[in-house]
Structure 1
Amino acid sequence: METIVLSVVVPMYNEEAVVPALVARLRPVLDGLGVPYEVVAVDDGSADRTAALLLQHGRAWPELRLLKLRRNSGHQAALTAGLHRSRGDWVVSIDADLQDPPETIAEMLALARERHLDVVYGVRADRSTDTPFKRYTAGAYYRLMRRLIGGDVPAQAGDFRLLSREAVDVLKVLPERTPVYRLLVPSLGFTSGSVPYVREQRAAGETKYPLRKMVALAWDSAADFSAAPLRIATWLGALTFLACLALTAFGIVVWANGTVIPGWTSLFLAVLLLAAVQLICYELGDVTPPR
């Protein structure tokens, strides 16, 4: 069986409008590399004809494989499925919308081979084609992640990257339930480099990353890679405990004045104190160190 040198993983969700353009642009690039390759297109439970079009193009392009998820599971889950099914010595992940130019793949592979790198990031040197809102929120996300996690997070590096087989094998055995690869990959400490590129306009269709998904990504990033949420819970617990002390005095006063029904004071204070203790113990009981 022929050894596959390069795998290209492409998560897709309702991308029927962009599939023809993706195939027309990606295939010449990969054919021009002169190495055995495969394309793992992951259909993330699309409700349109994305899967049907991929199967149609696959008849004329044998290197194109379709991996179809039963339901929409999210971009990172689709990317995980593609990485786990990839077979190449090197694995590139790229979105289907062609904002990340496929032509950069050749440069990424050449850099990895020349410098013996395990990771090569595609870094957006120019995002002028994005809306001002998109540029602002993306910048805010990376600033927040570097503040919470540290300076290892490459600025303006999304999910367009090249990984060695060794790096992919490490990712496959990690216990992450909701991996955020733009943070997880840098945290592993593999040798890395970067290739700058100009971010292009979406080839067709609409963005699959609205504000709701961007907020969810930021939350997953903070929850998985930082102790900040736990610290917030601890401070809330401490503030609640201090409030309980003040309310204890209030409860005793109203009890002494006989203005409440029997049992109200004890129940009132017990609920408040238990809530405060639970928040504090949630932090103390979590022994998993932050990344």
Structure 2
Amino acid sequence: MSPELSIVIPVYNEEDVLPLLAARLRPVADTLGTTYEVVTVDDGSSDGSPVVLQRMLRDWPELRIVRLRANAGHQAAISAGLATARGGYVVTLDADLQDPPEVIPEMLAQARLHGADVVYGVRSDRSTDSVFKRLSARAFYRLIRLLSGTGAQVDAGDYRLMSRATVNAINALPEHHRVLRFVVPALGFPSASVTYRRDERAAGKSKYPLAKMIRLSLDSVTGFSTAPLRAATWLGLLGGAAAFLLLAYALIAGATGHTLPGWTSTVVAVAGVGAVQLLCLGILGEYVGRMYAHLQARPTYFVAYDSLTGPVTPADEPLPAESHRA
């Protein structure tokens, strides 16, 4: 029989924080008064995380371990968890305890009370984050909302509760490089939210350095809006207009004998136009790259082991829904 609630937790090199996670999550889950499973997705950890998870499994029958064959990334690991979760409601939660598991009962209550398909966890206090991270995150969310027109919650990450209908809709999407914090709002399903204070990481190191944050930002922008392509078009039109005005100025100056010696203006004009062209080419390349990855139809992850069913061989493993061609 399927449990009413699944809690999906991506895990990558979290051996230090896993015992702390179990100590806080299990009492909360056990007192929910409903059946549940905790689906931990080991995203190719290279530390002792697999060993710690196996130890936890001995004493926690509701725990389930899904192990990926290689590191696929945070968003892909969550997608793998959503594809294997069986619950009528599914909560996605990071292992670092920055998002408190104690909020799950409130999320479940909000979903039942309002009939919401999605309940977002919204960070009302981010004082534990650096000033740069707070400001850049808010600017980023507002930019995505402006460009894509989606109702993405500001200060809401990947901590959310979803109904089975929402999870099924996500699993059916064919796109690669999903950024779920924007995919879910884009579905437009009825939603609610709960607020909480974001804590410091309980142990270990952050798995989202600046380079990964930039990559996530690019995936978000190119995955949910064609506004950058329109901006490139407008830049091209403006550049063409500026070039025409410069040409007219040069002809008039030459005819009246007011030309000035030197290469400064020429160099500046050429460098400026070249920079705009390279920027537009880079934007176009991001979209072409996404199209190329989609046409290749390569799965973003492969499951090696599921404690519920045992080892999974490549021949037996179904392709993830996001790898199918549209």
Question: TM-score if structure 2 supplies the norm length?
Answer: 0.73
Query: Which residue number corresponds to residue 130 of structure 1?
Result: 129
Deviation at 1:142, TM superposition (A): 1.0
Instruction: Please tell me the root mean square deviation across aligned C-alpha atoms, in Å.
Output: 2.6
Secondary structure in 2 aligned to 1:123?
strand
Q: Which runs of 5+ in 1 are unaligned?
A: 248-271
Q: Which runs of 4+ in 1 moved over 6 A?
A: 239-247
Asked whether 1:33 is paired with 2:26, we answer: no
Letter in 1 for 2:209: P
Query: Which residue number corresponds to residue 216 of structure 1?
Result: 215
Residues 169-200 of structure 1: CA deviation (Å, up to 9, x unaligned): 00011112011111111111100000011111
Which whole-Å CA distance do the structure 2 matches of 1:172 and 1:118 have between them? Answer: 15
Query: Which residue number corresponds to residue 255 of structure 1?
Result: none
Count of residue pairs the alignment pairs up: 256
Contact 2:4/2:36 (<8 A) preserved:
yes
Residues 43-73 of structure 1: CA deviation (Å, up to 9, x unaligned): 1111101111111101111111111112211
Secondary structure in 2 aligned to 1:83?
helix
Which whole-Å CA distance do the structure 2 matches of 1:243 and 1:55 have between them? Answer: 65
Secondary structure in 2 aligned to 1:187?
helix
Asked whether 1:16 is paired with 2:15, we answer: yes
Letter in 2 for 1:178: H
Deviation at 1:150, TM superposition (A): 2.6
Query: Which residue number corresponds to residue 93 of structure 1?
Result: 92
Letter in 2 for 1:91: V
Q: Which runs of 5+ in 2 are unaligned?
A: 248-273, 292-326
Query: Which residue number corresponds to residue 164 of structure 1?
Result: 163
Which whole-Å CA distance do the structure 1 matches of 2:25 and 2:120 have between them? Answer: 18
- Alpha-carbon distance change, 147 to 53 in structure 1, aligned in 2, over 3 angstroms: same
- Alpha-carbon distance change, 237 to 118 in structure 1, aligned in 2, over 3 angstroms: same
Secondary structure in 2 aligned to 1:124?
strand
Residues 179-231 of structure 1: CA deviation (Å, up to 9, x unaligned): 11111111111000000111111110111111111111111110000112322
Deviation at 1:235, TM superposition (A): 4.3
Deviation at 1:234, TM superposition (A): 3.0
Which whole-Å CA distance do the structure 1 matches of 2:174 and 2:150 have between them? Answer: 24
Which whole-Å CA distance do the structure 2 matches of 1:110 and 1:151 have between them? Answer: 25
Query: Which residue number corresponds to residue 296 of structure 2?
Result: none
Query: Which residue number corresponds to residue 195 of structure 1?
Result: 194
Secondary structure in 2 aligned to 1:159?
strand
Secondary structure in 1 aligned to 2:101?
coil
Letter in 2 for 1:112: A
Contact 2:42/2:50 (<8 A) preserved:
yes
Deviation at 1:232, TM superposition (A): 4.0
Letter in 1 for 2:71: N
Deviation at 1:129, TM superposition (A): 1.3
